[in-house]
Structure 1
């Protein structure tokens, strides 16, 4: 069984939100968001498998087990229903939570997230790429980090403050290469189930955020919003994939406004 490293920030609120980080980071990357939501929600910060202090390599698991482990955290803390916010990889996990545990998730905020790959051939190709990346991470982690940051997906980050990029890089350096590499093979995009066919049946309220310069995920979010029963879509200007890094002020305002809405 996965043993999640997490913390519950009890802000004496009626509702709780779980924050899920992206690839090559940890719950620490979501701490600023947690602090800025403290007047609205109690917050669960969790390290996803392979990152921070949640191990991946000792366990045989799939995406379904990741979601089950996260719900176990809520059970342990006596929390029945909760909101979830996830960025990129954490967004995939958040969507999976809503798919596997629909009665437990109230609001689901997805930042630059995808339901996976529906086409089997494309998913197989992505798995091949993920296996190559997994080997790259283990063979030369520093070189992989440079490759990762230079991907077109993150080019818009060149406009971010140097101190912000430095903090992001330092957190990536703190991850354990073998653990990060293992996570790709167990719940990466190439191996996780596709949730595209689940979207129309999901009952949670969704808020989809994508950066205007991240054309691929803008298109994904637009298609998702058409299929979901209850979905709000916002394309955030002047940023790409990592909205909360590139345009934090707008990001946190939008998230707070959504959490303050009454969807009942």
Structure 2
């Protein structure tokens, strides 16, 4: 069976991929783990809450190279795996994801912002999640936003999310822009057509080399929830 690993985004869990998995070929061996600090992946050793530690967990849980798909934070982690452990990845799909911030100053500013966000999470997780999904980036229908907000509150722990932000936030990730041209595996950057920021990022990754681009019509940022059928078809076509 073809091994496929799906990595979720910040605040999410492996179950976020259930609707996408339903549209994938049954012959594929699909895994969608909870990432450190999310869902059931809690009370881990400190190293697990870093990009290197999380990458090691992804690799350790599978035998041989895999097709690796990551959304947002999971996409950043998938790229980190491909850059630091190239033999572990057969094909790579980055969904609404970034190679990181280019400069040390940008990363420091983002770490400061993530520290503020961690404090907000600790103070009032429901209020934070509600604000998070009201950001223009997501542009979600009200019913889907309410569903996601309730799910995130029910399945996450505030302290664990803070640990994830500190070790795996965008500010904690090294920039992988310079590594894109050297990726030896087939790689694809996917963005929702209405997600202007990540459409630009996908184009910039393609210009940097080593990455193709695919857009999902009518969708914004949160593709696994917004457009699971379209994403499943895209993955089936690109990975087959």
TM-score w.r.t. length of structure 2 = 0.93
Q: Which of 128, 133, 141 is the aligned partner of 2:112?
A: 128
Look up the match of 2:32.
Answer: 45
Where relative contact order (Cα < 8 A, 6+ residues apart) is larger, the structure is 2
1:66 paired residue among 48, 54, 57: 54
- Number of residue-to-residue matches in the alignment: 238
Q: Quick check: 1:208–1:221 contact (8 Å CA) kept in 2?
A: yes
Aligned mate of 1:226, from 204, 207, 219: 207
**Structure 1 residue 251: deviation in Å?**
1.8
The answer (yes or no) to whether the contact 2:21–2:232 under 8 Å persists in 1 is no
Q: Structure 1 residues 57, 43: CA separation in 2 closer, same or farther (over 3 Å shift)?
A: closer
Q: What secondary structure does 1:114 align onto?
A: coil
What residue is the counterpart of 1:196 in the other structure? 177
Deviations 1:181-204 (A, max 9, x none): 110001110111111111111111
Alignment partners' CA distance in 2, 1:256 and 1:250: 10
Q: Which residue in 2 is equivalent to 1:8?
A: none
Work out whether residues 20 and 231 of structure 2, in 8 Å CA contact, stay in contact via their aligned partners in 1: no
Superposed CA RMSD: 1.6
Aligned counterparts of 1:101 and 1:172: Cα–Cα separation in 2: 31
Distance in 1, matches of 2:122 and 2:170, equals 19
CA distance in 1, matches of 2:177, 2:29: 30
Name the CA shift for 1:88/1:255 in 2 (closer, same or farther; >3 Å): same
- Among 75, 96, 109, which residue is 2:93 paired with? 109
The 3 A distance-change label for structure 1 pair 168 and 115 is same
Structure 2 distance, partners of 1:220, 1:45, is 25
Q: How does 1:131-170 map to 2 (within 5 A)?
A: 131-155=115-139, 157-158=140-141, 162=143, 164-170=144-150
The whole-number CA distance in structure 1 between the counterparts of 2:132 and 2:82 is 29
Deviation at 1:176, TM superposition (A): 0.7
C-alpha distance in 2 between matches for 1:30 and 1:247:
11
Structure 1 CA distance for aligned equivalents of residues 80 and 86 of structure 2: 9
Residues 177, 101 of structure 1: CA spacing in aligned structure 2 closer, same or farther, 3 A cutoff? same
- In structure 2, which of residues 157, 162, 173 is the aligned counterpart of residue 176 of structure 1? 157
2:42 pairs with 52, 55, 59, which one? 55
CA contact (8 A) 1:116 1:195 kept: yes
Tell me which residue corresponds to 2:14.
Answer: 27
Aligned counterparts of 1:68 and 1:191: Cα–Cα separation in 2: 16
Give the alignment partner of residue 241 of structure 1, picking from 210, 221, 235: 221
Whole-Å Cα distance in 2 between the matches of residues 194 and 205 of structure 1? 20
CA offset digits 1:77-98 (Å, max 9, x no partner): xx21110111101101111110
Q: Displacement of 1:208 after TM fit?
A: 1.1
